[in-house]
């Protein structure tokens, strides 16, 4: 089929389920044994090498050497779960990594985050956790791989980084550890999702496409 005849609509994000919740954030930080000043970097999804988890682990450890407030929260499961666990245990900042395993509904945990990483080194069709995190006013670090760049406004709601480049990911993490920069991105992230990925936005685009299907 000619590309001009193909229209893509994103699966909408539940903006009520994915929203900022300070009380939930405080409770989750307490569960993790962290204080309110901790900076929590999240990685949510399947745990295998193609997702860039080892690049992220190395980058996070390098950033932790410079930023004492930084912690990393890992949610998910996969073929490399045990290998990641051993790599974390052998790392210099093992106590600052929190690997919680598979959780059926990850949406509450976005509120524990200061920033979210989507570090895939393999092309992705999309990156839903990136969008859901921004709906919770969490800025993101995203690989320039496949459809992932469509999930953020680079330099505004997060940073777009080269896949597999540990130094670039370390620098990106440290850049968003800067409170002013991170907070300015957090302030606009949810509005970005409302505009492009909310149910209202997707429904309006669907109606528009029905009205002019070959536009």
Give a yes or no: residue 147 inside a domain: yes
Query: What are the pLDDT digits (tens) for 76-96?
Result: 999 999 999 999 999 999 999
Average pLDDT of the residues of the chain: 95
Report the chain's terminal Cα–Cα distance, integer Å.
15
**pLDDT score at 184:** 98
Tally of domains within the chain: 1
Give a yes or no: residue 53 inside a domain: yes
Statement: residue 213 has pLDDT above 60: no
* Proportion of the chain above pLDDT 90, given as a percent: 90
Which residues neighbour 144 within 8 Å (Cβ) at sequence distance 6 or greater?
160, 161, 162, 163
Task: Specify the 3-state DSSP secondary structure of 146.
Answer: strand
CATH of the domain at 35: 3.40.50.2000
Quick one: average pLDDT of 46-58?
97
**pLDDT score at 209:** 82
Give a yes or no: residue 202 inside a domain: no
More confident residue, 136 or 211: 136
Contact in structure between 41 and 73 (CB atoms under 8 Å): yes
Domain range for 85 is 17-189
For residue 167, what is the enclosing H or E element? helix 166-177
Give a yes or no: residue 199 inside a domain: no
Give a yes or no: residue 194 inside a domain: no
Give a yes or no: residue 123 inside a domain: yes
| Phi, psi of 165, deg, nearest 5 | -95, 95
Give a yes or no: residue 56 inside a domain: yes
* Proportion of the chain above pLDDT 70, given as a percent: 98
pLDDT-based confidence at 121, cuts 50/70/90?
very high
Statement: residue 109 has pLDDT above 60: yes
Query: What are the pLDDT digits (tens) for 134-157?
Result: 999 999 999 999 999 999 999 999
Quick one: average pLDDT of 24-46?
96
Give a yes or no: residue 35 inside a domain: yes
What residues pair up with 97 in beta bridges, in sequence order? 72
Quick one: average pLDDT of 59-86?
97
Statement: residue 13 has pLDDT above 80: yes
Our CA angle for 152, 154, 159, nearest 5°, is 95
């Amino acid at each position: 089929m000619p590309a001009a005849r193909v229209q893509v609509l994103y699966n909408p994000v539940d903006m009520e389920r994915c929203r900022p919740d300070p009380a939930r954030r405080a409770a989750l930080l307490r569960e993790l044994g962290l204080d309110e000043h901790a900076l929590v970097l999240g990685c949510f999804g399947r745990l295998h090498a193609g997702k860039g988890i080892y690049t992220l682990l190395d980058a996070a450890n390098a950033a932790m050497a410079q930023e004492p407030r930084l912690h990393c929260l890992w949610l998910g499961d996969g073929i490399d779960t045990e290998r990641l666990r051993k790599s974390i245990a052998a790392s210099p900042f093992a106590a600052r990594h929190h690997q919680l395993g598979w959780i059926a509904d990850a949406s509450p945990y976005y509120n524990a985050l200061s920033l979210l990483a989507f570090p895939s080194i393999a092309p992705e069709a999309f990156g839903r956790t990136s969008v859901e995190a921004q709906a919770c006013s969490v800025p993101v670090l995203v690989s320039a791989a496949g459809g992932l760049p469509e999930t953020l406004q680079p330099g505004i709601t997060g940073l777009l980084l080269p896949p597999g480049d540990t130094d670039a990911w370390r620098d990106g993490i440290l850049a968003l550890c800067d409170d002013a920069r991170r907070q300015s991105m957090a302030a606009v992230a949810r509005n970005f999702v409302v505009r492009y990925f909310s149910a209202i936005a997707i429904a309006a685009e669907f109606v528009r496409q029905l009205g002019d299907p070959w536009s």
